[in-house]
Homo-oligomer: A and B are copies of this chain.
């Protein structure tokens, strides 16, 4: 009942993550109602992104220059290396502004159920970097999930012989959260990690 060209657009949009039939239809109507110029800009942005963006050869972040802006920024400390699972985690940390060192993107987390073992991640590359670069502290900034914990444990075991100091982000109550809404695991971690309040 859809015009064929319209049905094809809906089909393609439905393949995108988080886009169901209803959203795909709404987006398709939006494309039809937009100016030719706006549609061209969208299409160009997609094509350019696909053509230009690569993984940085040093940290494996997404970049259109080589090495990426963070790796080539001499103002950023070289003594710290922050390990993240995906580029989106790196972006979240950058948005927070709480870290000024360099990064290493693993490309995922260990997850035997999904067939992702340590060899699928950029752990070999991390070890090479630790041997080559003068890193004093390796910060594991990995989500506290089952897969994240497995990856943390694996990394700390395999990297121990290298003698680098390994830390991980604090677990505890999220800022702004109501304490009685915190789940048991978070609350228990928050107790374990309690700090002396200095006034």
A residues engaging B (CB < 8 A)? Answer: 1-6, 8-9, 11-13, 15-19, 23, 25-32, 34, 36, 38-39, 41-43, 45-50, 52-53, 62-65, 68-70, 86-88, 91, 94-95
Contacts and interface: CB of A to CB of B under 8 A. Distances in A.
Nearest to A97: B1
Contact of A53 (B6, B19, B69): B6
A53 B32 contact: yes
A1 B148 CA distance: 25
A189 to B, nearest CB: 25
A32 to B, nearest CB: 6
B62 A6 contact: yes
A1 B28 CA distance: 31
Given A2-B91, A4-B64, A5-B53, A26 B18 contact: yes
Q: Secondary structure of the A side of the interface?
A: helix
B5 A52 contact: yes
Contacts of A62: 3, 6, 29, 32
7 contacts: A2-B91, A4-B64, A5-B49, A16-B27, A17-B27, A26-B88, A42-B46
Given A3-B69, A17-B30, 16 more contacts: A2-B91, A3-B52, A3-B63, A5-B45, A5-B64, A6-B49, A6-B53, A9-B45, A15-B38, A16-B42, A18-B26, A19-B27, A29-B86, A31-B50, A39-B50, A42-B46
